[in-house]
Structure 1
Amino acid sequence: MDSSILKPASELAGTNKAHFPNESVDYRRARQDLLTKEIELRRQIERVAELRRALPPGGEVKKNYVFEGENGKVNFADLFDGKQTLAVYSYMFGPQRQTPCPMCTSFMSTWEHKLPDIEQRIGFVFIARSPIARLIEAKKARGWTRHKVFSDISGDYTRDYVSAEDADVPGYSVFTQRDGTIRHFWSGEMSGTMADPQQDPRGAPDFDPLWTILDTTPEGRGTDWYPKLAY
């Protein structure tokens, strides 16, 4: 995106014709200022996405990771399912857990009906450290039919791309397969230690529409509420 050809965000915001019943002059003035910031945010999202796409080639995946899927064992290359790009979400459901992580479960639930769209362009799988039977049972309990779940049997993949200590933490990574070579492209690297003061740790971009929706409300995300497996 060539910033030299972009109109100032305030100029674009000035074309806004929206007005709502009984709003005050102060509200409209503040809303116009906020609209300018929202346009700037949209541009920043675009700039960061461009920088991400322009990353140099990542490290080659040389290990032959093996996973247990719903139909038996598969190699890492099989997860691409014929696509050139693969996204892997590692969710918190290790053997020590009685139930899956509520936050991961809420997050994954939002994708149930978007996976057919996503899979038009990339492969997308979900990996956890519990035995596959537990993953299948939890998947059925949530009513998921489209999630491709796999057990990281040995933990090799998890230790290499999620947590060197094999900790029960989430992870999101993207890989490419070009000319027979699989490479790591990008992973979320914002840890809890990188959170700003009084901020609930999170990464960017934020993939979960739950939080994006709450960000548009006066209550916001809050500091003492998280999704549950049941209400």
Structure 2
Amino acid sequence: MKTPPIVSPEEWEAARQRLLVEEKQLTRARDALAAKRRRMPWQAVEKAYEFDGPEGRVGLLDLFDGRRQLIVYRAFFDPGVSGWPDHACVGCSMVADHVGHLAHLNARDTTLVFASRAPQPEIERVKARMGWSMPWYTITDSFDADFGVDEWHGTNAFIRDGDRVFRTYFINARGDEALGSTWSYLDMSALGRQETWEDSPEGYPQSPPYEWWHWHDEYGGPTRPGSGSA
């Protein structure tokens, strides 16, 4: 192993400061990309999709759980997929392992769910084995094919206006590697982090950062500014 040079603390700090310039550029570029996502056109979802859940058959609108935004990760836990029936695919399992506490997303009026073609008893068994707690539904129709996730994993973002549902963004392939934190999921959503520093279209819900952040067991119910309307 050929290691980098060994330097003094002063030289190390100077090198870090040089690299920090590029890191800040990357952060600003990421913020600019998220701002463009918030200005993406919306695609109306006209088909009535159905899923099996822990309490029976539900529609896409039900997956929102009353919140304004919905993020759906298509996880490959299906018959015929590597790992079946003991595990979901190893990559999708790593994604599941990285999902943060959902209370923070819920506080921003956003619901995250996973969806696969495995039956509910198999999903519940694997969730218990792996310690996963996210809502996880069974795809029963062409949802995966219609939204680009029938042959590969991917993450779709939706928003609702009353009972009307719209697709707002889609991330797949290596883009899914960056997801898992509250921030990364919100950054792909139509409303973003909903914080005052963001470059968002006029009228989007916003509040100061830190002020809405809480310990996950002290939110006292989801914060839903303008819930249900666009």
Residue 118 of structure 1 aligns with an amino acid whose one-letter code is L
Question: Alignment partner of 1:103: what SS?
Answer: helix
**1:133 paired to 2:121:** yes
What is the Cα deviation at residue 206 of structure 1?
Answer: 1.2
Verify: 1:149 aligned to 2:133, yes or no. Answer: no
Partners of 1:172 and 1:40 in 2: how far apart?
26
| Cross-structure match for 2:58 | 74
Aligned to 1:225: none
1:180 equivalenced with 2:163 (yes/no): yes
- Determine if the alignment matches structure 1 residue 207 to structure 2 residue 179: yes
In the TM superposition, residue 29 of structure 1 has moved relative to its aligned partner by 2.7
Structure 1 portions without partners, runs of 5+: 1-20, 192-201, 210-231
**Partner residue, 1:116:** 103
SS at match of 2:43: coil
The answer to whether the Cα contact below 8 Å between 2:61 and 2:163 also exists between their aligned partners in 1 is no
Residues 131 and 153 in structure 1, CA contact (< 8 A), matched pair in contact too: no
Taking structure 1 as the reference length, the TM-score comes to 0.68
Rg larger in structure: 1
Which consecutive residues of structure 2, in runs of 5 or more, have no partner in the other structure? 1-6, 182-230
Tell me if structure 1 keeps the 8 A contact 2:155–2:176: no
Aligned residues of 2:158 and 2:168 also touching (Cα < 8 A): yes
Deviations 1:95-146 (A, max 9, x none): 21312112211221222x51121122201111011112211111111122x3
Aligned length, in residue pairs: 170
Q: Which residue number corresponds to residue 53 of structure 1?
A: 38
Quick one: which of 142, 145, 149 aligns to 1:159? 145
CA distance in 1, matches of 2:175, 2:62: 29
Query: Secondary structure at 2:88's aligned position in 1?
Result: coil
| Matched residue type, 1:151 | T
How much is the aligned-residue C-alpha RMSD, in angstroms? 2.0
Q: Larger relative contact order (C-alpha < 8 A, sep ≥ 6)?
A: 2
Residue 49 of structure 1 and its aligned partner are, at CA, apart by 0.7
CA deviations 1:23-76 (Å, max 9, x no partner) are 152x333211101001111111110010111112x2111111110001111011
After TM superposition, where is structure 1 displaced by more than 3 Å over at least 4 residues in a row?
Answer: none
Could you report, residue by residue, the CA deviation over 1:165-216 in whole angstroms, capped at 9, with x for unpaired residues? Answer: x32x211000010143211000015x5xxxxxxxxxx12781157xxxxxxx
Q: TM-score, normalised by structure 2?
A: 0.68
Letter in 2 for 1:49: A
Percent identity at matched positions? 27
